[in-house]
Amino acid sequence: MSGLGRALLAQARSWYIPSGVDTAPFVKWTQGARQAATEQQSIKTQGQDPRTYLAVPYGERVAAKAAGALWDKAAKSWYAGPDADMAKLERWKPDNMPDQQGPAMTPKEEFAEALQSLGCILTGEHPIMDGKKHRIGVEGDKKGEEAGFYVGHLDGHPAGYIKNNRTGTT
């Protein structure tokens, strides 16, 4: 990378091309930034308000897009588009987003959720996070059948393996 003449500005967390270096190899990266800057300047010179950027979590991107949010590739952020319904986008304005995320799930809770997502039926003490193989019932099992299998580890780095033998998903 640095052989092409790029350097990293640590404080700005952005790349630049030092003066005197041929810019031709960097055209594909600089065009998008130039286009975004030109669009922003065009908006400002036309007397329009600058973009209203939004704090849209990844899982809510489809809903935000449906309400008129657009993706700014240069800023890598969502903003309210010209046809946006600002009432629907109100919840994603940065001032309306919580400053802290909710409490984290325990590894056992997260593993239980993963088991259920693969069709496993949690009963009794499942999941048992002892590093040993455990059979578990899955959706579609007959009475007494256990077509699921898992191993859950809590030692050092929580991890696990799950397989639904009925569907073949792991």
* 8 Å CB contact between 60 and 31: no
- pTM of the entire structure? 0.42
Domain locations along the chain: 1-48, 51-99, 107-164
Query: Tens digit of pLDDT per residue, the chain (170 long)?
Result: 444 444 444 444 456 667 777 777 776 666 655 565 556 555 554 555 578 888 888 888 899 999 999 998 888 888 998 888 888 888 888 877 665 556 778 889 989 999 999 999 998 899 999 999 999 999 999 998 999 999 999 888 888 999 999 998 98
How many Cβ atoms from other residues are within 10 Å of residue 119's Cβ? 19
Residue in 95, 92, 88, 97 with CA at minimum distance from that of residue 78:
92
